[in-house]
């Protein structure tokens, strides 16, 4: 039997998700397991982030990725939920627009 060909989805340029009120840009430092990460945020704090169920098997997050986090108000501002993961070209646009300082990324791979 012949194999079915997989259809490629047409990749359209997505709209850039900018941080809104109550959202902060972070860089993933460590993967803790059980859908939790440690992230260094732009405000100088290190927060534990949770990957929500709607992102679990769809968006793969690794160390060094830039993510958008919403801090929890009831946990003393030490924890938060991951809302979005930025790809390489999106990170470059954030740097160009001034939302993310280039020295915040340690490796400078973007």
Per-residue pLDDT of the chain (110 residues; tens, 9 = 90+): 677 776 655 555 678 788 888 889 999 998 888 888 899 988 888 988 888 877 777 777 888 889 999 888 886 678 888 898 888 888 888 888 888 888 887 654 44
6 lies in some domain:
no
At residue 13, the pLDDT reads 61
Helix, strand, or coil (residue 89): helix
8-state DSSP, 21: T
Domain count, the chain: 1
72 lies in some domain:
yes
Q: What is the value of pTM for the model shown?
A: 0.74
Decide: 95 and 104 in contact? Cβ < 8 Å.
no
CATH of the domain at 29: 2.40.50.140
Domain that holds residue 98: 24-102
What's 34-50 look like in SS3? CCEEEEEECCCCEEEEE
């Amino acid at each position: 039997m012949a194999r079915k060909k997989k259809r490629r989805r047409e990749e359209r340029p997505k709209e850039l998700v900018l941080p809104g009120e109550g959202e902060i840009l972070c860089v993933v430092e460590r993967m803790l397991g059980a859908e939790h990460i440690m992230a260094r945020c732009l405000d100088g704090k290190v927060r534990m982030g949770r990957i929500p169920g709607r992102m679990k098997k769809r968006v793969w997050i690794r160390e060094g990725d830039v993510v958008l986090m919403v801090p929890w108000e009831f946990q003393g501002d030490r924890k938060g939920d991951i809302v979005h993961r930025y790809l390489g070209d999106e990170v470059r646009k954030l740097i160009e627009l001034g939302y993310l300082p280039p020295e915040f990324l340690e490796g400078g791979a973007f």
